[in-house]
Chains A and B, each alone.
Chain A
């Protein structure tokens, strides 16, 4: 079936540094999402993105977070600067224009030291 890829699978960085998480969505999908899962807790919505714009974001999507998909390349989540509480697994998802199903990637485990 359709696959969403995420790069890297693991990332360790020092607090205060910038990090970019990359997502390669399903090729014909137009809606993109990021979710955050802290260890032992449920996955929570961060943001969704369509036609070059953030459509909806949650309170977890802090000012230090930004998303973009320049020229149809990777859909990225950038955190600058990082904080200890940003340590989590970040899942990317994409969906078709008229489809309710979101296809997820395997996640990027981010550790902030």
Chain B
């Protein structure tokens, strides 16, 4: 049974800071790794995903994956108040029908 854990549980940062969110997983056969963002009462929305070891950057967001360490992370450069939300990491095996395993989330608050 896949175990997905996120740290920290919550984070408060000032506007303009670099934010780092972490996710560990237990199934070494995992092949798809994603970050979702959820504003209160809204649908979780995919932010970024990665399939192979390394980094991927999109604007202010960077995802980093280290399969050997069973760890991936999300880094937000120049954090903005609009980034305040619940961030969920999700992991899946290769099958297109495979279930997503979610972490419990990191609640991020960016203070103006």
The answer, yes or no, to whether B81 is at the interface (CB within 8 Å) is: no
Q: A-B pairs with the 3 shortest C-beta distances?
A: A45-B99, A42-B104, A106-B43
The answer to whether A106 touches B41 (Cβ under 8 A) is yes
The answer, yes or no, to whether A27 is at the interface (CB within 8 Å) is: no
Q: Which of B44-52, B53-61, B71-79 contacts A (4 or more CB under 8 A)?
A: B44-52
* Nearest chain A CB to B1 CB, angstrom units: 10
Scan B20-40; emit 1 where CB is below 8 A from any A CB, else 0: 000000000000101010000
A50 CA / B99 CA spacing, docked (Å)? 13
Q: Give the total of B residues in contact with A, Cβ under 8 Å.
A: 23
The answer, yes or no, to whether A4 is at the interface (CB within 8 Å) is: yes
* Nearest chain B CB to A97 CB, angstrom units: 8
**Secondary structure class of chain A's binding surface, majority of residues:** loop
A60 CA / B78 CA spacing, docked (Å)? 40
Q: Would you give 28 A-B contacts (Cβ < 8 Å), ordered by A?
A: A4-B43, A31-B96, A31-B97, A35-B102, A41-B104, A42-B4, A42-B88, A42-B102, A42-B103, A45-B99, A50-B97, A55-B97, A58-B99, A91-B43, A91-B44, A99-B96, A100-B34, A100-B96, A101-B34, A101-B49, A103-B43, A103-B46, A104-B43, A104-B44, A105-B43, A106-B42, A106-B43, A107-B43
